[in-house]
Chain A
Amino acid sequence: MIRVTGLSKIYQTGRVQVAALTDVTFQIKAGEFVAIMGPSGSGKSTLMNILGCLDLPTAGSYRLAGREMSGLSHGELAEIRNRELGFIFQSFNLLPRLNAWRNVELPLVYAGLPPKERRERALALLALVGLADRAEHRPQELSGGEQQRIAIARALANRPAVILADEPTGNLDTKAGREIMKIFTALHQEGKTIVMITHDPEIAVFAGRVLYFRDGRLRRDLLTVDPATNAVLTARELIDRLHGEEEEQP
């Protein structure tokens, strides 16, 4: 589904060049649930922007569903964001002036659907995330967890194959975070491909696989299931493996 080869991103600020990503190569198969981890400044947000077609790489190739992304026009990229990708942000990024269903409707507006169908689908999506009774509420009238569920409904609006989530639980308390991860798990079981940035190992273990970045390079690529016992790693074990194995590298 996602194939990244030799990907680099260099930011030019004045005379200083900053390499945010250096020669990153990995693949994500359809239906995988992948967590991207790493300290701040490790390049994971830059990677997310590129995977989300919000930004273009300086070098390397990014293929989404077999299609090369570099060289596409702004308009084509916008269409891919609209149809193939669903975004979930740490700060929800709902439009404060619009009520819940109008926020969910937005990708459908840009997809050119007629109003009646948009409303029906938006309400159905809100019901899916358990917010049918909040359809007319504005974001500021809702809790953080509820807002994030609206954002998830919005991300699902055009039935994208890939969900990209940037610290989806970062602004939520533990309980609300678990609720969100329950929805993610359900989506994963339905066959959605999910790529999620997180710094929280408790959250990362919900994914089946962790890509660990540091200084713009992919350092670790490991499964959250112990291959020997087939048991899911605990957060503690995940941290140990990330750091332990990293230190073994030269």
Chain B
Amino acid sequence: MKTRDNLRMALEGLAANPLRSVLTTLGVIIGVTAVIVMTALGEGASRQVTAGIEGLGSNLLIITPGRTGRRSRELGAAGSATTVTSDLLPVLERELAREGGELLRGIAPEARQVLPVRNASLSITTNVMGVTPAYLGVRGYDLKEGAFFNEEDLERRNRLAVLGKTTAEELFGEESPVGQVIRIANNRFTVIGVLAERGYSGFSHLDDLVLVPLTTAQRRLFGHNRLQSIYLEVVDSRFMDAAYDRIDRILRGYFQEEAAYSLSNQVQILETIQSTTRTFTLLLAGIASVSLLVGGIGIMNIMLVSVTERIREIGIRKALGAQGREILLQFLFEAIVLSLAGGGIGILLGLAGSRLAALFGGWPAVVSGGAILLAFAFAFGVGLFFGVYPAYKAALLPPAEALRHE
């Protein structure tokens, strides 16, 4: 007997009970759809985070406060200690100059706090960052309009502000904010520029912020000289390791304690984030797989019912000369056809669902070929695994008994 005949028998068997077949398939459809949508969302999130971090600028080293200090044991402790301050900056510059400063293109400190910002009519809360003129180049921002503050503004602690695109729109709408006055924690600042759009990074909205001169921020707004980060732009990616070693040596000399600071490069951050999102994606896929498994059990259940209902048919087929193997294949094919149909429909729904999620969720969804293949293979495996037992049961029925069955 040919495979084609087996397949035809299976299809006829399923067609005899269309509603039941569809309902059985539904379990697999939902499972495969869930797996595809979940992995697509996970993958999309991962790519977005990666792109965001890569968008930080190409050759960055980042100094953040270490894990010592009062709040040392807290989760995400980087940045929680109070060790890194503006005092470190002249030390860095001096040491780097002494050893030959050609390694770095720029140093950009950042002091950050979430503060209320308002204009005449609106009040919002956003990230207020104290930075230096080098920040623009090191972090890869462009100006959309207006100007950025310079060294002189920094020295004089001028109350100037440059707005991120989102912040500008929230406060001023279509109107140009340049020349307008805003109040940050009740201090008057004059807006002199607006940044070009950047999008999301892994951590924050890169367009929802207000940049002010570091000195102004520390003196007038924050009341201390702590820094959350110092970004160091290395002149060439080939020198990343050399730069890392040298700066690490300087920092160790300065702090006398390794736990006081943390020096990282983008690759490390990327790896951390990617391993996190990968775990996240796997978790989502795992949860979704459970529904696929449940779908498989549904198939087994229905196939068992089907075998019981068709004992007489099995007896007739055996009396006419069907081998046990042929009966087995007939029922196994039914289970596999069910699961593969479910897999196929599930993939289509998964693609549609991913697109829909991306459309309404504001969240990119990346459906990978691998996920589709995996879901399909898994659906096939489910059909095979859960189909074998009922089919085997059918194949082993003794023909004389099966024929007697009413």
Contacts and interface: CB of A to CB of B under 8 A. Distances in A.
Interface of A: 49, 52, 54-55, 74-75, 78-79, 81-83, 87, 89, 93-95, 97-98, 106-107, 109-112, 154, 158
Contacts of B400: 49, 54-55
Contacts of A78: 318, 321-324
Q: Looking at chain B, what size class is its interface with the partner chain?
A: 20 to 34
Interface in B310-324: 312-313, 315-324
Contacts of B1: 109-110, 112
B12 interface: yes
Contacts of A106: 317, 320
Contacts of B312: 93
9 contacts: A78-B318, A81-B319, A81-B399, A82-B322, A93-B319, A106-B320, A107-B321, A110-B1, A111-B321
Contact of A95 (B316, B326, B398, B399): B316
10 nearest A-B pairs in the assembled complex, by CB-CB distance: A82-B321, A54-B400, A55-B400, A110-B321, A49-B400, A54-B399, A107-B320, A81-B321, A93-B316, A78-B323
A74 B327 CA distance: 13
A111 B400 CA distance: 20
A93 B320 CA distance: 11
A74 B398 CA distance: 9
A97 B12 contact: yes
Interface of B: 1-2, 5, 12, 16, 312-313, 315-326, 398-400, 403
A107 B321 CA distance: 6
A75 B325 CA distance: 9
B319 A87 contact: yes
A109 B323 CA distance: 11
Contacts of A97: 12, 16
Contacts of A79: 321, 323
A112 to B, nearest CB: 6
Nearest to A109: B5
Contacts of A158: 321
Contacts of B326: 110
A163 B316 CA distance: 15
Chain B, interface SS category: helix
A95 B403 CA distance: 12
Contacts of B321: 78-79, 81-83, 107, 110-111, 158
Nearest to A155: B320
B323 A81 contact: no
Nearest to B4: A115
A82 B324 CA distance: 13
B60 to A, nearest CB: 69
A83 B321 CA distance: 8
A89 B399 CA distance: 14
A81 B398 contact: no
Contacts of A74: 323-324
A211 to B, nearest CB: 20
Nearest to A92: B316
B319 A54 contact: yes
A83 B324 CA distance: 16
B352 to A, nearest CB: 34
A66 B385 CA distance: 43
A215 to B, nearest CB: 20
Contacts of B320: 81-82, 87, 106-107, 110, 154
* Listed residue (B318, B320, B400, B403) with the most chain A CB atoms within 10 angstroms of its CB: B320
A207 B349 CA distance: 65
A154 B319 CA distance: 11
Contacts of A54: 318-319, 399-400, 403
Contacts of A107: 320-321
B323 A112 contact: no
A75 B323 contact: yes
Contacts of B2: 112
B86 to A, nearest CB: 85
Nearest to A53: B399
B351 to A, nearest CB: 35
A93 B317 CA distance: 10
Nearest to A77: B399
A94 B313 CA distance: 9
Q: Name which of A54, A75, A97, A154 has the most chain B CB atoms within 10 A of its CB.
A: A54
Nearest to A94: B316
A31 B335 CA distance: 45
Nearest to A97: B16
B398 A55 contact: yes
Contacts of B315: 93
Interface centre among B2, B315, B319, by most A CB within 10 Å? Answer: B319
A206 B12 CA distance: 40
B179 to A, nearest CB: 83
Nearest to A98: B12
